[in-house]
A and B are shown apart, each in its own frame.
Chain A
Amino acid sequence: MRNYRILPMILFLGAVFLLPNCALTPKVDRMAADTTVDISGRWNDADSRMVADEMIRDCLERPWLNRFSDGHGGRIPAVIVGMVRNRSHEHINVQTFVKDMERALIDSGRVQFVASKGERGQIRGERLDMAAHASDETMKGPGEEIGADFMLIGTLNTIRDEAAGKAVMFYQVNLELVAMADNVKVWIGGKKIKKLIEKRRFKW
Chain B
Amino acid sequence: MKPSPRIKRKRIGLCCLFLLSFSVISCASNIRYYPQLNEYLYARDYDSACRLIKESRKDFKKRDILLYYLDEGLIAHFASRYEESNRSLSQAGSIMDKLYTRSLSREAASFVINDNTIPYRGEDFESALVNLFMSLNYAGLGLWDDALVEARKVDNKLNILNARYEENERNVYREDAFIRFLMGVLYEAQGEINDAYISYWKSQEIYRTDYLPNYGVSPPAFLIKSLLGAAQAMGFQEELMEIQREYPDIAIERQVTKKDMAEVYFIHYNGPGPEKVEEYFLVPMPDGYIMKMAYPGFVKKSYGIRGSKILLENLSSRRSYSFDTALMEDISSIAVKNLDNRIGRIRAKAIVRMTAKYLMARAAEKAARENGGDILGLMVRAASQIISLTTEHADIRHWRLLPAEIRVGRAVIAPGEYEGKISFVTAGGTAVDSIHTPRFSITKGEKKFFTFRTLN
Contact = CB atoms under 8 A, between A and B. Distances in A.
Interface of A: 85-91, 160, 162-165, 199-204
B156 A203 contact: no
B30 interface: no
B103 A199 contact: no
B153 A89 contact: yes
Contact of B146 (A91, A162, A199, A203): A91
List the 4 closest A-B pairs by CB distance, nearest first: A200-B101, A86-B145, A162-B160, A163-B163
A199 B164 CA distance: 14
Interface string B131-145: 000000000000001
B101 A90 contact: no
B101 A201 contact: yes
A102 B190 CA distance: 25
Nearest to B163: A163
A85 B190 contact: yes
A87 B101 contact: no
B163 A162 contact: yes
B145 A89 contact: no
A78 B163 CA distance: 50
A91 B190 contact: no
Given A85-B190, A86-B149, A90-B149, A199 B160 contact: no
B149 A91 contact: yes
A133 B153 CA distance: 52
Contact of B100 (A86, A160, A199): A199
Given A162-B160, A162-B163, A201 B148 contact: no
Given A162-B160, A162-B163, A163-B160, A87 B105 contact: no
B258 interface: no
B202 interface: no
Interface string B406-443: 00000000000000000000000000000000000000
A15 B105 CA distance: 30
B375 interface: no
A138 to B, nearest CB: 37
B106 to A, nearest CB: 10
17 contacts: A86-B146, A87-B145, A88-B149, A89-B149, A89-B152, A91-B146, A162-B159, A162-B163, A163-B160, A164-B163, A199-B101, A200-B101, A201-B102, A202-B101, A202-B104, A203-B101, A204-B103
A90 B103 CA distance: 27
A203 B152 contact: no
A86 B150 CA distance: 12
A201 B163 contact: no
Contacts of A85: 145, 190
Nearest to B150: A91
Contacts of A200: 101
Nearest to A88: B149
Contacts of B159: 162
Nearest to A165: B100
A162 to B, nearest CB: 5
A91 B147 CA distance: 9
Given A89-B149, A91-B149, A160 B101 contact: no
